[in-house]
């Protein structure tokens, strides 16, 4: 069985973690299949960076995230995108459309603000 889990790095008392895909039988800091990203709990707010498309791929082929990694994925709404991957869309396309959908309201709001400024400047 394959798990998506954290792999510890850093000095004693200063942990940072890598988000990796590994076989269940591998030790925590041992052999892994692929690195998806990293997590730094020492920053304020905590830093979590990972490749969403690769994470979706691994989830679609049956990899199970640990509880802490599941929390990161839920924050990025990865499990909401998973049915589209199961339906046949590529993970890259799903992540790409999610990013453009998330950016659309911001872009529309900026256009509206620019129009308001233009109207007040004309008056």
CATH classification of the domain holding 61: 3.30.1320.10
Q: Which of 14, 64, 69 is nearest to 37 (CA)?
A: 69
Number of domains forming the structure of the chain: 1
**Encoding tokens for residue 83?**
């049915």
Which among 103, 100, 69, 63 has a CA at the least distance from the CA of 82? 63
The pTM score is 0.73
What per-residue confidence (pLDDT) applies to 113? 59
What pLDDT was estimated at residue 112? 58
∠ CA 100-103-104, rounded to 5°? 85
Average of pLDDT values for 6-28? 91
Distance CA 68, CA 19 (A): 10
d(CA 76, CA 92) in angstroms, rounded, equals: 15
Domain hosting residue 92, numbered range: 2-122
- Above 70 in pLDDT, residue 39? yes
Q: pLDDT: is 123 or 81 the higher one?
A: 81
């Amino acid at each position: 069985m394959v798990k998506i889990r954290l792999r510890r790095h850093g000095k004693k008392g200063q942990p940072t973690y890598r988000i990796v895909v590994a076989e269940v039988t591998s030790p925590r800091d041992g052999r892994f299949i692929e690195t998806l990203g990293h997590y730094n709990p020492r920053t304020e707010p905590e830093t979590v960076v990972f490749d969403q498309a690769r994470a979706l791929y691994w989830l679609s082929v049956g990899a199970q995230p640990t509880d802490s990694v599941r929390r990161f994925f839920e924050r990025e709404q990865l499990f909401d995108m998973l049915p589209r991957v199961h339906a046949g869309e590529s993970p890259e396309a799903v992540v790409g459309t999610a990013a453009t959908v998330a950016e659309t309201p911001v872009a529309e709001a900026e256009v509206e603000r620019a129009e308001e400024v233009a109207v007040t400047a004309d008056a």
